[in-house]
Amino acid sequence: AVPRWKPLRHAYEKEIVLYAHFEGLDYLSTECVYAPHAYRGHARNLLKDLEATRPSTVAALGHSGRRLTIATEVATKTLGAC
């Protein structure tokens, strides 16, 4: 497997938007109409609250996630037809 290269993974979203603004790059941000009711909004709010308390929280979580490894054999259920 080839690892993905993410040059801006350590940059905050605000910094990326500012970079695009000052470089004159087109930046489009739209929200899905279903997003306000999605569960990920709760997780995002939790992350924003944690980041307000400690600004390096998101970077620390990303670092921890990259250090996790997955076993070569993972037990999964067979998916059925809907």
In whole numbers, what is the pLDDT of the chain averaged over residues? 79
pLDDT for the residue 49? 92
Give the residues of the chain that fall short of pLDDT 50: none
pLDDT for the residue 81? 67
* Element counts in the chain: helices (H) and strands (E): 3, 0
pTM of the model: 0.43
Spacing of C-alpha 4 from chain mean position? 14
Residues 6+ apart with CB under 8 A from 57: 47, 50, 51
Tokens 């970079």: give the residue: 19
Residue type, 1: A
pLDDT for the residue 42? 84
